[in-house]
Amino acid sequence: MGVSHGTWADPVDYLRTAAPFDPVLFLSPPALQAQARRFLDGFPGLVTYAVKANPEEAVITNLAAAGIAGFDVASPEEIALIRRLVPGAALHYNNPVRARHEIVFAVGHDVASYSVDSLGELDKLLAAVPQRRAGGAPVEITARFKLPVPGAAYDFGTKFGATEQLAAVLLRRIAAAGYTPSLTFHPGTQCTDPAAWESYIRAAGRIAAAADVTPARLNVGGGFPSHRVNEQRPALEAIFARIRDVTDAVFGADAPALVCEPGRALVADACAALARVKALRDPGDGTGGDGAGGDGAAHVFLNDGIYGAFAEMPLMGATDRVAVFSPDGTARRGAPVARVVFGPTCDSVDRLPGDLLLPGDMEEGDFLLMQGMGAYSVVTNTRFNGFGALGVQVVMTLDV
């Protein structure tokens, strides 16, 4: 993968010039930088980018150009990437489980902050991480906790996070060991309800009180939603306001500095994915629809699927931000028809969830353009069966 040379006005401008056989991801640097500024202007604290969402170099450099100065890294590979592209950035190593050699690597690359959710992992950090970084700045260790709070597409608490009781023990030990003590949580991905952040912030207040430690910072995680449904635009400003107001109410004059680590919400809406229609099977032809073995809906086969750029769809659900174009860039505007959409592999589970409403005049060779595809579309591409050779093209706007 990697970004191609040259810039197009929009995806249709590209289609009018090229008819790609492989899937394409369009990246709009203006859209990416605008979303970064939305966070920088609206969130009441430090904004860091969760590199795992999309580590393409063009994404990292454009976020840095917009003013993002901190990065949430989860591995030595991501640490090395950011040190190469944004040498002076603050690195927050918030994967709470690390091998000892990974901790040594992080120390050697001047990581500023580590999260932890168990006593054993804290012991690893205390044994290998000095209290101060190379330049003399203190090292931060954050205790990560979890709650049974609904409202996200899927819950990170099933894998990471200490109970409130254990988090208080961790916070107290961090402070006693001479590190900067802080707290962190993650409400779960694609979280649309500000109340989830309120529940966690109030729990942070209880943890701090139980530990008798004033946390220096409170990292409210990622989980901020991207735009997946046409009629439901994410109310990010409402979430930012609730975070600020509840933090002030809970902690008062001792309110910790706030940090967030969005991935999806920063990069998803800066990209769109283009897939080509390989075949159509209409109702009644014996393979799709009302024929033998059919399911009442026409079948569409694309050159990309859940083993490629659409890997997240079985977890996240399909999006309706879809348009279809002929090879010359003409928009298909036929009456919508419910269609089952399959990917290109020989695996029968390679199917987008549910049915997609797609234009009835769609033909083989047409292109399906899906918006909001910048998060996890690149990093989860498996190349199963040899498919998924995803190219990246730069466009000024994604609007078509």
DSSP string, 326-395: -TTSPBP-SPEEEEEEE-SSS-TT-B-SS-EEEETT--TT-EEEEES--SSTTTT---GGG----EEEEE
Q: Which residues contact 231 (CB under 8 A, 6 or more apart)?
A: none
User: What's residue 287's pLDDT?
Assistant: 58
Q: Is 370 helix (H, G, I), strand (E, B) or coil?
A: strand
User: What's residue 96's pLDDT?
Assistant: 96
Query: What are the φ and ψ backbone dihedral angles of 27, each rounded to 5 degrees?
Result: -115, 130
Exposure b/e, 114-130, CB count within 10 A at least 16 = b:
bbbbbeebbebbbeebe
Report the distance separating Cα 154 and Cα 89, nearest Å: 30
Q: What is the mean pLDDT of residues 314-342?
A: 93
User: What's residue 315's pLDDT?
Assistant: 85
Report the distance separating Cα 347 and Cα 385, nearest Å: 9
Q: Is the pLDDT of residue 318 over 90?
A: no
Task: Tell me which CATH homologous superfamily contains domain 3-25+269-395.
Answer: Lyase, Ornithine Decarboxylase; Chain A, domain 1 (2.40.37.10)
The 10s digit of each residue's pLDDT in 231-283 is: 888 899 999 999 999 999 999 999 999 999 999 999 999 999 999 999 999 76
Q: Which residues contact 159 (CB under 8 A, 6 or more apart)?
A: none
Q: What is the mean pLDDT of residues 178-193?
A: 93
Tokens of 292: 């033998």
Task: Tell me which CATH homologous superfamily contains domain 29-267.
Answer: Alanine racemase (3.20.20.10)
Q: Which residues contact 17 (CB under 8 A, 6 or more apart)?
A: 8
Nearest to 91 by CA among 76, 105, 110: 110
Q: What is the mean pLDDT of residues 18-42?
A: 96
Q: What is the mean pLDDT of residues 57-78?
A: 98
What are the start and end residues of each CATH 3.20.20.10 domain in the chain?
29-267
Q: Are 271 and 17 in contact (CB under 8 A)?
A: no
What are the start and end residues of each CATH 2.40.37.10 domain in the chain?
3-25+269-395
Alpha helices in 218-343 (DSSP H): 236-251, 264-267, 313-316
User: What's residue 2's pLDDT?
Assistant: 61
**Segments of 18-130 assigned E as strands:** 24-27, 46-50, 70-73, 90-93, 113-116
User: What's residue 284's pLDDT?
Assistant: 60
Please state the pTM of the whole predicted model: 0.93
